Chain A
Amino acid sequence: MKRVSETLDNLGRSVLSGVEQMGGILILLISTLGWMFRPPLKLRAIIKQMEFVGVKSTFVVVLTGTFTGMVLALQSYHGFRLFSAEGLVGSTVALSMTRELGPVLTGLMVTARAGSAMAAELGTMRVTEQIDALYVMAANPIKYLVVPRIVASVFVVPLLTAISDFLGILGGYFVGVVLLDINKGIFVDNIYKYVELEDIYNGLIKAAFFGLLLSLIGCYKGFNTRGGAEGVGMATTEAVVIASVSILVADYFLTAIMF
């Protein structure tokens, strides 16, 4: 009996803290939107963050995009060969990359690289009272710290996704046409035939949404860090876990709405 009530107690507590965090993230989003359009625009800070997110993540995105396209080609080749449809490898790779894997993998990679860094930076600023110092100097930290990171992520993640899509298809081409000898003309024609422009930009819209999620969660976790260096470490880990899970869950719902 005691164990049951204890379990229920713990369950209640985690549900409550989950709801509290969702509320907190929503409030942060609303105040970010409020501050975003209030002049002066912090254009320099935004560009600096774009550079930061881009530079941090480009290399891993290039690698994951290329190799994912390559392995997709390899796997689907073995499947399609069974009923002599090797020509469909190209369109399969292209559709998977643009609709699904490009945005999701890029979102996850940027979370690991830049989302975590956002939580760590803001967390450090919180525990060393730099955020309080901003308030004291009548400078709103949401405007200074959160808005540039979120705006930058919303723009840069789709850009990185476009790179990932392109390299994935290129990787698929390399494996399919160069290594596995699929007819080049059929490979390319099928891509044109089956991949719509809509597939590409729906994927990019997804990516923008993932950019919003990962930066919002990274900033929220950093902003609400407590308890010294240990707290910063925890905030960073939690930001990565929560943002990654959110991206995968959101991906399902976005897909259900879009396609």
Chain B
Amino acid sequence: MIRIVDLYKSFKSQKVLDGVNLEIEDGKTTVIIGRSGGGKSVLLKHIIGLMKPDSGQILVDDVDIAKLDDRSLNEVRKKFGMLFQEGALFDSMNVAENVGFSLREHTKMKEEEIRVAVAEKLKAVGLTGIEEKMPSELSGGMRKRVALARAIAINPQIVLFDEPTTGLDPIMLEAINQLIIHTQKNFNLTCIVISHDVESIFKVGHKIAMLYDGKIIEYGTPEEIKKSPNPVLQQFLTGSIEGPIHIM
């Protein structure tokens, strides 16, 4: 289980996280919503130890990863997969090398076994026969699929998604949503998804948390969130200009 306790983070004078408290349930999908530039990616990067907090704890299975040295942190990271906003596939490697990267680095699997595992993970995200392609030859949707295949290659327990659907056309957006739902179920993953897209939030999330002003201001099931009287949340969900959220 992941528990975030009193997390604070500033860049120079800019406060980004101002006391975040959040519990992520195992085997469920938690969606984090919030405005662009509101600190969602920063929060995600803390969860996987890419950033160190100014103060506070990030407990992964009761271990505070903010206090770990590099070696122990690397061990914890093997529980995680992450899908970056633009995929972050390695330009210099083809699809098979990208997906097989962790297997080659962290397991003793033979090349043949890796080849089979890569094909299997690609199939799980709906792709076949593109092993030899380079990332630059793929469309945006395909890059995200390959990135997801790479993220789940070493069978992590937890997968983080940073805006998986931003910048996709409506059909591809739906396809990626379905993919997240199925992958979560099939591999019984704990997923944390950052999203702006109001429809996707309710489809994908078992739990929804809203990050606003550096804090989690609402947390609950999709039904609870829909019914919440919180004006900030309602303004976000309806995309209204009028309300407590200042525009610029």
Spell out A's residues near B (CB within 8 Å).
Answer: 124-125, 128-130, 132-133, 135-140
Q: Are A138 and B88 in contact (CB under 8 A)?
A: no
With A129-B85, A132-B84 known to touch, is A137 a contact of B91 (CB < 8 Å)?
no
With A124-B91, A130-B90, A130-B91 known to touch, is A138 a contact of B77 (CB < 8 Å)?
yes
Q: Complex: how many Å from CA A128 to CA B136?
A: 13
Could you show 5 A-B contacts with beta carbons less than 8 Å apart?
A129-B85, A133-B84, A133-B90, A137-B102, A137-B105
Q: Complex: how many Å from CA A132 to CA B105?
A: 16
CB distance from B118 to the nearest CB of A (A): 14
Of all chain A residues, which has the CB nearest B41?
A129
Using Cβ atoms and an 8 Å threshold, which residues of chain B touch A137? 77, 101-102, 105
Using Cβ atoms and an 8 Å threshold, which residues of chain A touch B75? 138
CB distance from B236 to the nearest CB of A (A): 26
CB distance from B13 to the nearest CB of A (A): 16
The answer to whether the Cβ of B206 comes within 8 Å of any Cβ in the partner chain is no
The answer to whether the Cβ of B50 comes within 8 Å of any Cβ in the partner chain is yes
The answer to whether the Cβ of B212 comes within 8 Å of any Cβ in the partner chain is no
Q: Is the interface of B mostly helix, strand, loop or mixed?
A: mixed
Using Cβ atoms and an 8 Å threshold, which residues of chain A touch B85? 129
Q: Are A132 and B50 in contact (CB under 8 A)?
A: yes
Please give the number of chain B residues whose Cβ is less than 8 angstroms from any Cβ of chain A in the complex: 23
Q: Which 7 A-B pairs have the closest CB atoms?
A: A129-B88, A138-B74, A133-B88, A129-B84, A138-B77, A136-B82, A137-B102
Using Cβ atoms and an 8 Å threshold, which residues of chain B touch A133? 82, 84, 88, 90
Q: Are A132 and B101 in contact (CB under 8 A)?
A: no
The answer to whether the Cβ of B78 comes within 8 Å of any Cβ in the partner chain is yes
Of all chain A residues, which has the CB nearest B80?
A136
CB distance from A114 to the nearest CB of B (A): 15
Q: Complex: how many Å from CA A128 to CA B82?
A: 14
Q: Are A128 and B101 in contact (CB under 8 A)?
A: no
Q: Are B105 and A138 in contact (CB under 8 A)?
A: yes
Using Cβ atoms and an 8 Å threshold, which residues of chain A touch B90? 125, 130, 133
Q: Complex: how many Å from CA A9 to CA B228?
A: 51
With A129-B88, A130-B88, A130-B91 known to touch, is A139 a contact of B70 (CB < 8 Å)?
no
Q: Complex: how many Å from CA A138 to CA B91?
A: 18
Of all chain B residues, which has the CB nearest A137?
B102
Q: Are A139 and B84 in contact (CB under 8 A)?
A: no
Q: Complex: how many Å from CA A140 to CA B106?
A: 12
Q: Are B50 and A136 in contact (CB under 8 A)?
A: yes
